[in-house]
A and B are shown apart, each in its own frame.
Chain A
Amino acid sequence: MLQKKVCMLGAFAVGKTSLVRRYVDSIFSEKYTTTIGVKIDKKVVNIGEQELSLLLWDVYGEDNHQKVLPAYLRGMAGYLLVVDPTRPNTYKSALSLHDLVNNTLGPKPFVLVLNKSDLKDEWEADIAELQQLANVAVAVMETSAKTDSGVNEMFEALASALLPING
């Protein structure tokens, strides 16, 4: 079966791990447990007639003290670039991680993910700041790991972009 490495990239605490847990184990926790290094999970996804095994690399978030090391991106086919619109600071990390990918591997397909849509009344960041990323993303999706909104769709949107042409 076709296997593809997909990375979860974004600032700390945007919900990368929560999105993977929701997708793989159908669970959500309010408690924040930060990721160190990377945690790798696997999930098989069916797109039309095709089966694809996604290797989900849940990488630690970027913060003021540590940048994501390019070694973790090795062999990556595509990525989910996650922001938390309740925290405008997370946009900067998304932009710098997008640059990191382009500089390390060259452009790769990605879905721009606006997570925590259950807190939409607290979304305050100016989405226009993300326009530049939205223009080059294969899709822009709103998700909530908490209420399970848009999560499967987000992974499937990326998976479709990773299938061989005519998939």
Chain B
Amino acid sequence: MTNDLPLSVARYVKTLPVCSRAMAYLCLDNDNVVINRGGALEKCGMPSIEKGVLISEQLPAIAQLLPIGEKAVVLVNTQISTDTIIDLHLFADTIGQWVLIIDNTEAGLILQSEQQERLCNDIIKEKNTKNGGAR
């Protein structure tokens, strides 16, 4: 997806952490029909997105977020009926409504383990306070 960029820029972009992650995009018209799609759709857990079909018939979860206003919408660590963890960035310009999908499975699984440990500790603490308080 960096083909159109000057080599220097493309090289620089490649060093950004985000670029080691698989990316895909959808472009929707104002009636929410998919008019274009590309990138690593399969890796991002959405292999069967078709052009010319309403997004509500393909990814109803995304349809509920439309229309996109002037401000971009970002939803991190989203799972849509798959185990793939993606970040969704939605923004609109004169061409259409764009949905950028960035795979975050690797980092997401680490975050999940960290959160798991933290919350299990919190539950133990809560129980101890409760038992202590009852005595």
Q: Which residue numbers of A lie inside 8 Å of B, CB to CB?
A: 3, 5, 12-13, 32-34, 36-42, 53, 55, 57, 60-61, 63-65, 71-72, 74-76, 87, 89
Contact = CB atoms under 8 A, between A and B. Distances in A.
Contact of B56 (A3, A57, A71, A74): A3
B20 interface: no
B64 A55 contact: yes
B4 to A, nearest CB: 29
Interface string B45-81: 0000000000010001101111000000111111111
B79 A55 contact: no
A40 B79 contact: yes
Which of A39, A40, A65 is packed against the most chain B CB atoms within 10 Å?
Answer: A40
Given A33-B116, A55-B61, A87-B126, A42 B108 contact: no
A37 B111 CA distance: 10
Interface stretch (B10-18, B21-29, B95-103, B117-125): B117-125
A5 B63 CA distance: 10
A63 B119 contact: yes
A37 B75 contact: yes
Which of A3, A34, A36, A65 is packed against the most chain B CB atoms within 10 Å?
Answer: A36
B30 interface: no
A60 B116 CA distance: 11
Contact of B118 (A53, A55, A65, A75): A65
B65 A37 contact: no
A32 B120 contact: yes
Pick the 9 closest A-B CB pairs, nearest first.
A37-B77, A75-B64, A5-B64, A39-B79, A40-B61, A36-B77, A40-B80, A36-B112, A34-B116
20 contacts: A3-B56, A5-B64, A12-B119, A13-B123, A32-B119, A33-B116, A36-B85, A36-B111, A37-B76, A38-B75, A38-B78, A40-B80, A40-B81, A42-B60, A60-B115, A61-B119, A65-B118, A71-B73, A72-B75, A75-B64
Contacts of A37: 75-79, 85, 108
Contact of A74 (B65, B77, B85, B115): B65
B74 A71 contact: yes
Contacts of A55: 60-61, 64
Given A3-B56, A34-B112, A71-B73, A41 B81 contact: yes
Contacts of A32: 116, 119-120, 123
Which of B64, B74, B79 is packed against the most chain A CB atoms within 10 Å?
Answer: B64
Given A34-B112, A76-B64, 8 more contacts: A32-B119, A32-B120, A32-B123, A34-B119, A36-B77, A36-B111, A74-B73, A89-B126
Contacts of A41: 81
A5 B85 CA distance: 20
